[in-house]
Structure 1
Amino acid sequence: MKVDKELMRGSTTMIILSLLNEEDMYGYQIISKLKKLSDSIFNLKEGTLYPILHGLENKGCIISYWVDGEAGRRRKYYRITEEGLKFLKGKQKEWKLYTEVVNKIVGDFCYE
């Protein structure tokens, strides 16, 4: 089943920060893990991911660093910062409230 992109848009930043809270990752790794964990519901393109990462970096929520990989290939990794953890906690609280209210309004029928 496809999910409307408008529904996903509001949660993408929180989801990316949640993944980075587990471990530092490079861009393609974020895309792959997100696709796998979501059973392909979240299938971000690089053109969507990198502007989000750059915005989070500009806000001080993440930092980036380069690592030399196999065969001399360099990868840019991203790490969540203390500011990013605070931001993530706030977004998680917002998400909890939002989903509780929506579920209260639409009821259990939507899960049938």
Structure 2
Amino acid sequence: MISSDAIRGYNDTFILSVLQEGDSYGYAISKRITEISESHYSIKETTLYSAFNRLEKNGFIESFPGQVTHGKKRTYYRITASGNAYLQEKIAEWHLTKKVVECFIKEETK
């Protein structure tokens, strides 16, 4: 597992990327993040819902009521046009970040 400190700034990117695949709810988004990362990263529930609140407040996602399952109403989330634009900014930022880090970490060639 990768340290959550190492990728804390990318949780929004992960969530928005999952929501680009389609509308979803908290548990399914968390599970998808774990799947995509091949179990190298899992997002904590408190981190996930904190991110939902921040992303919704900034207009990057919107929530809506979903189906009732097991007596519990699910809240679903969808990415907005602003969220798609923000995701593209975060992806560009990642490419630059990766380039800078690679300046300092050289792969040994054998």
> TM-score, structure 1 length as denominator?
0.88
Distance 1:73 1:4 in 2: 32
Give 1:11-22 correspondences, 5 Å limit: 11-22=10-21
Q: CA RMSD in A?
A: 1.9
Post-superposition offset of 1:107: 1.6
Distance 1:58 1:88 in 2: 16
Between Structure 1 and Structure 2, the one with more helix by share is 1
Give 1:57-76 correspondences, 5 Å limit: 57-70=56-69, 73-76=72-75
1:55 aligns with 2:54: yes
Give 1:1-112 correspondences, 5 Å limit: 2-70=1-69, 73-109=72-108
Distance 1:89 1:71 in 2: 37
SS of equivalent to 1:28: helix
Question: Structure 1 regions of 5+ residues with no counterpart?
Answer: none
Distance 2:42 2:3 in 1: 12
Post-superposition offset of 1:70: 4.1
Q: How many residue pairs align between the two structures?
A: 110
SS of equivalent to 1:16: helix
- Measured against aligned partners, the alpha-carbon deviations of 1:51-108 in whole angstroms (never above 9, x if no partner) come to 0011000000000001124455421110000111111111110001111221232122
> TM-score, structure 2 length as denominator?
0.89
